[in-house]
Structure 1
Amino acid sequence: MTAKKTSKTTSKNQKNNKSSAEKVTEETTPSRVKRMLRWSFWLFLKMSFIAVFVLFLYSIYLDGKVRDKFEGQRWQVPVQVFGAIEKYTVGSKLTLTNLRASLSANRYKKVTHVERPGEFALSKSRAIIYRRAFDFGAGVEAPAKLTIDVTNGKIKALYLDDEKVAQLRLEPLLLDRILPESKEDRVLVSLQAVPTKLLDTLLLIEDRNFYFHYGVSPIGILRALYQNLIAGRTVQGGSTLTQQLVKNMFLTRDKTLWRKANEAIMALILEYRYSKDQLLEAYINEVYLGQHYANGIYGFGLAAEFYFGKSIQSLNAEQMAMIIGQVKGPSYYDPWRFPERTIKRRDLVLRLMYQKEILSQQEFEHAVESPLSIRKKRRVKQQKFPAYLQLVKAELSRHLSEYQQQSGVRVFTGFSINHQLALQATINEKLTTLAQESAEQLQVAMVVSDFKSGEIRALVGGKEAGYAGFNRALHAKRPIGSLIKPAVFLAALERYQRFNLATLIEDKEITLSSEDGQAWRPKNYDGKYRGKVHLVDALVSSLNIPTVNLGMQLGLDNVAQAIHLLGYQEDIVTRPSMLLGALNMSPMEINQLYIPIANNGKGEKSHAIDRIVSARGETLWQFEALDQQVISTQAAYLLDFSLNKVTTSGTARSLTWRLKDKVVAGKTGTTNDLRDSWFVGYDNQLLVTTWIGRDDNKPTKLTGSSGALVLFADFMTKTGAISRQANIPASVELVRFDNKNGRPVTQACDNSQLLPAVTTGLLYEADCEEAPLKSKKKSWLEKIFGD
């Protein structure tokens, strides 16, 4: 009974406990839910705060990344090397034939009616040029119509957009782009230089709401999604132009959510930081538009040249449409591999241009009927002037670091396309006819400079145009022969108290001993001896023995000093053989040597680069003229007088008929066994150094006058020599000299001649010393019949 009672009590307690547990559960469940909700809310809030904070920090990181690149060096941009800026002034010399060649080389198109930039028209006396937009160094100048009137080879009048002006300038020829290590090629263009029609079409196709969104367009994404669902494939992208810019400039092409998130954030940052025009200009220069073998084609500026060989300003409507169509897929719409696809895409763009009234109906019909006017071959032609570019690159490395060269700098040089083409034409026409037996082995180097400024106008390093190998103009060190003689005579003429042009010099057989005891017996080229000759005649006839005697009389150190004064930088081993050109120099060094002689004694540094400008238009480096009198004006004039006589009565006298009625000066040079043929000549503007020889150093069978001089004369004929006009210094006058003793006299006589001389301290004699009467040879009639 007790156990039964206990069992009932236990059962009752279990029932009570169960009832109590149910009651507790009913009471605590709502509280627990509330607590869970409250906990979840605070957790979400904390996590959101953390996420926002992390996103904020990450955005700061991305902002720094964006600003660092967008405001710094955005791209590794090729160095753009330009020729000389062509300037035209009223009264200056100009032939329309040369102008046409210059414009054609600069990819201007000859038309009947000039309507757009990059076109020109010519008549017998007038040229009309629609100049492209270009930054000459003070900001981009808009396209302009230039008119040049020419009469008798001189500019009569100049007009800029129908307004008469005194001077015009034309944008220079782009010689080459020196690619950075990244191999990314670009032609940077400003927004102002891009045709409005191209900009309107680009925004129409890629992002018509560009100026109204903030970097990301939800509506654009939904519209693209709808179009893609209807088509069953991807036919339209939802990315804004700003997002495309981010993808190209900052991100990879991986299709991941993380990349899309970065793209959206960075697009918002760009829109916040920079103006729409800044973003559009960056996109124009950044977008990927094709591939040229190992090099990518980036930006519309380069794409215009790559696909059509034109500047961006010269594109017509169908060409703009084709390039804009490339944005969607340069490989898929490759015009060389898939022309049908490309035309279909182009015509779609043209149709949209017509619907939005960017094109008229007539323009649209003409454009869709046009074939693809792309270049015939994908491969871009190699630049045509590698020898000149080698000189530019050598100078550029001295002025800028490799890092600075990747920032889109522009290099302006003194290069003249007309002079370069004339050089190459001369070599092609004349070199093979000079020595038929050895024509295939002959090589050549020529340097053309403006001796007043020191600018190198043209340069050829070998007979093959466009050959980028060994540059003989810069690196071929050859014996210079008689080209050294003006330096020897300069050393004498600077000592005007002792020497003048009439000074008599011994011309007799001599023997000199070297340091090792070997005998040296120089000879004149013709093997003859004249007893005594005047200083001027020794130079004009290029006589060896008088030159050696004069040099020994002066002292070898004084001659070496004269060579250095003229601009030669290397050390000179002073030995007698140097007086006859036993020195090895390159054509470039020889050209430098003759600049003071042609430039009235003023030395100027030979150079290709005039100015280097940053992508922002800042001048990074500019050539500074020396304008330094390195030799006296009187010695320079007397030397120039003598070198002019070389071309009229001396070793270069064939120039009297090769360059008829033109006054020039120069010096021939020939080395032992006719191994090297040299000629240095100049008119009133240009100094031309010419070398002909063989790489194997075998004889050429050419002297300086029969080889190098011929090329000089032909070049001057092609370019139009300007007769030399020498200025006589105040201390120099024409003086009469006695031919027998070389002394100045006050009275004229049969045995005397007039020569320029420095009159300071000059002592005159009253009378000439009469020459002894020469016995007259009797004729055969006189011998038979007597006098």
Structure 2
Amino acid sequence: MKDKTLNKPKGFTKGKASKQGGAKYGFSHWITVTAIKLSVIFIAIIGIYGIYLDGKVTQTFEGQRWQVPAQVFGRVLTFDRDQQVDFAEIEKELLMLNYQRSTNAETPGRFTQKQNRFIIYRRPFDFGYGLEPASKIIIEQRDGEVYRLTQDGEQVHEVKLEPILIDRILSAEGQDRVMLPLDQIPQQLIDALLLIEDKDFYHHHGLSPTGILRAFWKNLLAGETVQGGSTLTQQLAKNMYLYRDKTIWRKVNEALISVILEVRYSKDQILEAYLNEVYLGQHYANGIHGVGLASEFYFGKPINELNNSELALIVAQIKGPSFYDPWRQPERASERRDLILRIMFENHLLQEKAYQAAITSELNIRKNRRFKKQSYPAYMQLVRRELKDIGAAGALQSGIRVFTGFDIHRQKDAENAVIEQLKKLENGTDVANLEAAMVISDIRSGQIQAVVGGKEVKYLGFNRALDAKRPIGSLIKPVVYIAALERSNKYSLATPLADKPISLTSSKGKKWQPKNYDGKFRGQVPLIDGLVQSLNVPTVNLGLEVGLENIKQTLNVLGHKGDVRKVPSILLGSINMSAFEVNQFYSTIANGGLYNEAHAVVKILSGDGERLWAKEKLLDARLSQQGAYLIDYALTQVTSTGTAKSLSWKFPQQRLAGKTGTSNDLRDSWFVGFDQKSVVTSWIGRDDNKPMGLTGSSGALTLFSNYLAAQGSNSRFDLIPDGIEFATFELATGNVVLDDCANVEQYPAITSGIFISEQCLEKRKDPPNWLEKLFGAEGE
């Protein structure tokens, strides 16, 4: 019997073998295909993720990369030919700007004085017309006046100093930085940074394996970290786009973003971004980012004024701002700085003489860690409100630069006057818990120069200058008298006003019987005396004659925007206003009737220097020149013979103008005073509105007086306008009479309203001759 297996078809065995081989071939084929598929999927995922990362990177890098604080500057100090100049004041201004005295002002940020010449090497600055380079300014004076100005050797009519930075409005995250283009960063700092952090920066493509190995070897030889392993591009990717968690996925992201940055942007763009992003310290709750702000933070001066030692300390902070904090760890900071200086020397970035000078120098950091920011909270409250009204609040984190009318000298003098005078008043009386407010503005421009919101001048809180609306008392009286004097056909400074008891009854039957402050009645007084002596009864009589509607309109014309109730009590100041609102309408009076809207913000520039907004300059005549002159004349008499005559004793050489104000029961003490340049509004009172026993003369006037003693004044010299003549008035009738009449006084008057009367109540007697003096007049 034949073996069946031998009779099986030959192909069967082959087929089995073929099947087994096919199984083997099929598995490897499956592995290969699966690997290819997975690779394709992985590449697709990486590609899609790369596209996502690319969009994220470019959107951030090409858009607003950071929330850059808004910078708020004070007024731009300008010097003109023939202007009064005080070299001591210029020096104070420069020291506040962190300029340094030197024997020869040969580099930016330095100044010197040589007899009648003041030499300033001004730093580069953009005043709104493009970046002006550093320049050497020479101011020469003769008899207290500028007679020659030169800038970089050429005579000019005007020179400017950069303004003081009064605040930086930070983002909600508390990040702070000063943006600098690469060409404004010292090359020495850039070279040192690359030497320490990324020597191959301009040769790698975002990742540098050789750099990692080199850093490992250098650090091993030195026994400490002297060189970083990550490239600057990786550090930028980590700082700008990633969290600081130490995971593999973060490192993958870091590598991918680094490659994208290198592909998309030039090396210089990446380096500039790094230098403005790098974290270099902590100012309490706010981080210090970028070398520009670090220079200000550690040394109090711009980065282009740092020496080799200071530049090395900035680079030293990159490794660990907390560990190498020069205030808390000066020895560590010095060691790290010296190490960087040695590496710079060994790599020929420093000559031996410069190296020895740098390594033996002190750290030279600022004495106080705290930035001088938010030092003027009351003024900054006004700035923030105006920025909101302008519509610029949404741009505060885009690096805008805000220029204001802030005058640091006036601000400091006002603050000191408030602090010192309130202390004296509380020590000299039984009154406690006094508060105060002051607003100071420039007469010609309307710019607010200083604001004090209370006796705690350095703390942000309730701003009494802007928000405390209190009865203004006799401060309203000039408005009443302006309304009359603008009607020259009926009123003059000599118009007789009744000063007798009066009684008014309201529609509800309530009686009002105003009295003068001293309780006396004079029967009749000239119109000017009613204002100069701040008499209530003559003022009420005049106001009722002129009409309450006209008084209201005059107040609005002068600049008050609030509503006014037309009741007789407004004639004595039963109107609530803030010091800011009072300052507004008095500024129009002080400016010869020309209205300027009070404002702190002058202009706003973008971070690139583009002008975004500027306050319009409009000449808006609200009063006639003649009426404005007459009220100004009367208010100068207030300070020489009236309720503010103490000023004539304290400042005998100065011609000042002003008005006192006191509310009922001595609850509010006011004074508004002005010289040729500024209007100063001051208020003293209590937050609980209780009486304090101070009048305008005994309270707020003393604030003005102390402020003026510190600040100095510019005597008023208003020229007599066309249409004004001095005339002789008979006091009893108010008529313009000839010079031979008795009981007369000379006052300025509007020419069109002068009608000379040849009749007078009494002729002036000729003075007795020598015989009459010897023997007596005939008939005696």
Q: Deviations over 1:575-610 (max 9, x none)?
A: 211111111211111100101111111111111111
Q: Equivalent of 1:255, from 233, 237, 246?
A: 246
User: Cα 1:154–1:190, aligned 2, differ >3 Å: closer, same or farther?
Assistant: farther
Q: CA deviation at 1:158?
A: 2.6
Q: Deviations over 1:255-280 (max 9, x none)?
A: 33433333233233333333333322
Q: Does 1:138 align with 2:134?
A: no
Inter-partner Cα distance in structure 2 for 1:573 and 1:354: 79
| Structure 2 unmatched runs, 5+ | 766-778
Inter-partner Cα distance in structure 1 for 2:409 and 2:419: 15
Q: Does 1:175 align with 2:166?
A: yes
SS at match of 1:728: coil
Inter-partner Cα distance in structure 2 for 1:190 and 1:286: 12
SS at match of 1:730: coil
SS at match of 1:499: coil
SS at match of 2:487: coil
Give 1:82's aligned residue.
Answer: 73
User: Cα 1:709–1:576, aligned 2, differ >3 Å: closer, same or farther?
Assistant: same
* 8 Å Cα contact 2:435-2:687 kept in structure 1: yes
SS at match of 2:440: strand
Inter-partner Cα distance in structure 1 for 2:333 and 2:391: 42
The alignment's TM-score, normalised by the length of structure 1, stands at 0.90
Give 2:520's aligned residue.
Answer: 528
User: Cα 1:730–1:282, aligned 2, differ >3 Å: closer, same or farther?
Assistant: same
Q: Deviations over 1:272-298 (max 9, x none)?
A: 333333322222211111223332221
Inter-partner Cα distance in structure 2 for 1:630 and 1:520: 33
| RMSD of equivalent CA atoms | 2.9
User: Cα 1:550–1:475, aligned 2, differ >3 Å: closer, same or farther?
Assistant: same
SS at match of 1:12: coil
Inter-partner Cα distance in structure 2 for 1:597 and 1:100: 34
Inter-partner Cα distance in structure 2 for 1:235 and 1:357: 17
Please give the residue correspondences for 1:26-425 in structure 2 after superposition, counting only pairs within 5 Å: 51-227=42-218, 236-381=227-372, 383-400=374-391, 402-425=393-416
Please give the residue correspondences for 1:667-706 in structure 2 after superposition, counting only pairs within 5 Å: 667-706=659-698
Q: CA deviation at 1:321?
A: 1.0
SS at match of 1:406: coil
Give 2:607's aligned residue.
Answer: 615
Inter-partner Cα distance in structure 1 for 2:695 and 2:224: 77
Give 1:782's aligned residue.
Answer: none
* 8 Å Cα contact 1:86-1:170 kept in structure 2: yes
SS at match of 2:728: strand
* 8 Å Cα contact 1:740-1:771 kept in structure 2: no
* 8 Å Cα contact 1:683-1:721 kept in structure 2: yes
Inter-partner Cα distance in structure 1 for 2:500 and 2:269: 80
Q: Deviations over 1:53-92 (max 9, x none)?
A: 4444333322221222122221122221111111122222
Q: Does 1:629 align with 2:621?
A: yes
User: Cα 1:188–1:22, aligned 2, differ >3 Å: closer, same or farther?
Assistant: same
Inter-partner Cα distance in structure 2 for 1:355 and 1:157: 50
Q: Deviations over 1:193-249 (max 9, x none)?
A: 322322222222222333344433343234235446767886643322222212111
Inter-partner Cα distance in structure 1 for 2:507 and 2:353: 88
User: Cα 1:263–1:69, aligned 2, differ >3 Å: closer, same or farther?
Assistant: same
* 8 Å Cα contact 1:112-1:121 kept in structure 2: yes
User: Cα 1:664–1:337, aligned 2, differ >3 Å: closer, same or farther?
Assistant: closer
Inter-partner Cα distance in structure 2 for 1:136 and 1:206: 36
SS at match of 2:396: helix
* 8 Å Cα contact 1:432-1:440 kept in structure 2: no
**More deviation in 175-184 or 113-122?**
113-122
**More deviation in 655-664 or 542-551?**
655-664
* 8 Å Cα contact 2:403-2:603 kept in structure 1: yes
SS at match of 1:552: helix
Q: CA deviation at 1:503?
A: 1.2
Q: Deviations over 1:599-633 (max 9, x none)?
A: 11111111111112222222222211332112222
Q: Deviations over 1:666-685 (max 9, x none)?
A: 11112233332221111111
Q: CA deviation at 1:454?
A: 0.6
1:273 maps to a residue whose letter is: R
Inter-partner Cα distance in structure 2 for 1:177 and 1:758: 51
Overall identity of the aligned pairs, in %? 50
Q: Deviations over 1:298-319 (max 9, x none)?
A: 1112222323333323323222
* 8 Å Cα contact 1:449-1:458 kept in structure 2: yes
1:499 maps to a residue whose letter is: Y
* 8 Å Cα contact 2:740-2:763 kept in structure 1: no
Inter-partner Cα distance in structure 2 for 1:602 and 1:331: 57
Q: CA deviation at 1:466?
A: 1.3
Inter-partner Cα distance in structure 1 for 2:136 and 2:525: 62
Inter-partner Cα distance in structure 2 for 1:125 and 1:718: 24
Q: Deviations over 1:375-398 (max 9, x none)?
A: 445444553211111111121222
1:742 maps to a residue whose letter is: G
Inter-partner Cα distance in structure 2 for 1:192 and 1:94: 36
**More deviation in 14-23 or 230-239?**
14-23
Give 2:768's aligned residue.
Answer: none
Q: CA deviation at 1:688?
A: 0.9
SS at match of 1:384: coil
Give 2:749's aligned residue.
Answer: 757
User: Cα 1:494–1:125, aligned 2, differ >3 Å: closer, same or farther?
Assistant: same
**More deviation in 707-716 or 573-582?**
707-716
2:271 maps to a residue whose letter is: L
2:549 maps to a residue whose letter is: D
